[in-house]
Amino acid sequence: MKKTMLQCATVFAVLLLPSLTFSAPAQKEVSYKNDVRPIIHDYCLNCHEPKGKGYEKSGMDMSTYQGLMKGTRFGPVIKPGDSFTSIFIQVIEGRVHASIKMPYGMNGGLAKEKISVLKKWVDQGAKDN
């Protein structure tokens, strides 16, 4: 009797297994307006808006989505879908050169959680949403 029940349970498990899906939980879409813009407002706009020191040096205007996507006078800094090679993220993480880690003058840089939000936004396509 026990052997029969064990065999039935095994057959049931084998039949059920293919119907189970193993996937990572869906990532919440990061919103430019609700998630990214507040970080930029709090940590970047002191310098990176017209007439700011960062704007004067680089041409980087972060006061609008369009300005952020335009980048610097040297070219775009965000590669939608690829945070690792986006200069925007490289500078925030201090991967370009330690002397230009942003936000400028902020000891320790941005909190990891805020960097994670920015990276997810870029990886999700850097949408104006």
pLDDT digits (tens, 9 = 90+) for 16-71: 445 444 455 667 999 999 999 999 999 999 999 999 999 999 999 999 999 999 99
In a domain, 129, yes or no: no
Question: What was the pLDDT predicted at 12?
Answer: 44
In a domain, 71, yes or no: yes
Summarize pLDDT for 115-127 with one digit per residue, the tens: 999 999 999 999 9
Write out the two tokens for 50.
């017209």
In a domain, 54, yes or no: yes
Q: DSSP per residue over 68-84, as a string?
A: HHH-BTTB----TT-TT
| CB 122 within 8 Å of CB 85 | no
Whether pLDDT at 5 is above 50: no
In a domain, 99, yes or no: yes
Whether pLDDT at 6 is above 50: no
pLDDT band at 9 (very low <50, low <70, confident <90, very high): very low
| CB 47 within 8 Å of CB 53 | yes
Write out the two tokens for 70.
């335009």
In a domain, 21, yes or no: no
Of 50, 100, 113, 112, nearest to 88 (Cα)? 100
In a domain, 22, yes or no: no
In a domain, 93, yes or no: yes
pLDDT band at 7 (very low <50, low <70, confident <90, very high): low
> What DSSP state is assigned to residue 21?
-
Summarize pLDDT for 72-99 with one digit per residue, the tens: 999 999 999 999 999 999 999 999 987 8
| CB 98 within 8 Å of CB 1 | no
Structural domains of the chain, count: 1
Q: 81 lies in which domain range?
A: 30-122
In a domain, 41, yes or no: yes
pLDDT band at 109 (very low <50, low <70, confident <90, very high): confident
Query: Number of helices and strands (H, E) in the chain?
Result: 6, 0
Question: What does pTM read for this prediction?
Answer: 0.78
